[in-house]
């Protein structure tokens, strides 16, 4: 079902690869108007060219910098007059055992996975309140529901995404704004490439042996977006059929 996707103005962070790229491809196929953000501008530009989006559809964006996230959302409003959906997708997973004291990695995950989502909300919410419509999709994880050894900080950031998203859901009811949390399990992306702890990396390798393609996430996005305006899909949790964790 792709009802209502055509002509919706959608902003996606972390759109240069993985989940964000897959969502961009499927949404473009169904007629959405996209504005894509990521740090790797060359990959964004190549994707925009492939999808025939035009040069104004990409904005180099580091989600840890609030002004850059605001510029991304403002580009969508300037180009199309509104923003219907923001997908706060950018994330990192350099998981490690706490005893290794990878504090710089902890800081980076907090900045990208939590503050980056909040900056996306802060950029989109004023426009959506003014419109009295909109849809905010925040990406959590199975780790937002379960904690495993070596993943404490990553899980904490993804639990935080779910908590702030639930608070947001309750607060935006007067403005006709919908909210969705999407929590993927093992999906084939570049996310595992950032794991530096060899013990954790081996555990990840085993978990991701059954990883499913990123278009599984894209279909979840389309499902949530395609509902009638009076239906609010608040959370989707999905895994590979074979995944135990």
Beta bridge partners of 180: 137
What is the separation of C-alpha 46 from the centre of its chain, rounded to a whole number of angstroms?
20
Q: Are 87 and 23 spatial neighbours (Cβ–Cβ below 8 Å)?
A: yes
Assess contact for 106 and 150: CB atoms under 8 A: no
d(CA 205, CA 144): 19
Lookup: tokens for 76:
């969508």
Q: What is the number of helices (H) and of strands (E) in the chain? A: 8, 7
Q: CA–CA separation, 188 vs 190, rounded Å?
A: 7
Residue 223: CA atoms inside 13 Å, Cβ hemisphere, count?
Answer: 15
Catalytic residue numbers, as ranges: 154
60 has which bridge partners?
Answer: 38
């Amino acid at each position: 079902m792709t009802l209502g996707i055509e002509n919706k103005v959608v902003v996606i962070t972390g759109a240069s690869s993985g989940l964000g790229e897959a969502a961009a491809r499927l949404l473009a196929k169904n007629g959405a108007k996209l504005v894509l953000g990521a740090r790797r501008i060359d990959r964004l530009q190549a994707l925009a060219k492939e999808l025939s989006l035009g040069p104004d559809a990409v904005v180099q964006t580091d989600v840890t910098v609030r002004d850059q996230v605001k510029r991304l959302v403002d580009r969508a409003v300037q180009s199309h007059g509104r923003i219907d959906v923001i997908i706060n997708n950018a994330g990192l997973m350099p998981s490690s055992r706490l005893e290794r004291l990878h504090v710089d990695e902890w800081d980076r995950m907090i900045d990208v996975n939590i503050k980056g989502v909040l900056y996306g909300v802060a950029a989109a919410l004023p426009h959506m309140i003014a419109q009295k419509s909109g849809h905010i999709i925040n990406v959590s994880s199975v780790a937002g529901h379960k904690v495993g050894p070596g993943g404490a900080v990553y899980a904490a950031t993804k639990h935080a995404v779910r908590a702030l998203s639930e608070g947001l859901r309750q607060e935006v009811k007067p403005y006709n704004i919908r909210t969705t949390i999407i929590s993927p399990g093992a999906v084939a992306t570049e996310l595992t490439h950032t794991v530096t702890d060899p013990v954790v990396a081996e555990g990840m390798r085993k978990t991701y042996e059954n990883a499913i393609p990123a278009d599984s996430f894209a279909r979840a996005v389309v499902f949530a977006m395609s509902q009638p305006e009076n239906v609010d899909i608040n959370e989707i949790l999905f895994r590979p059929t074979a995944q135990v964790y």
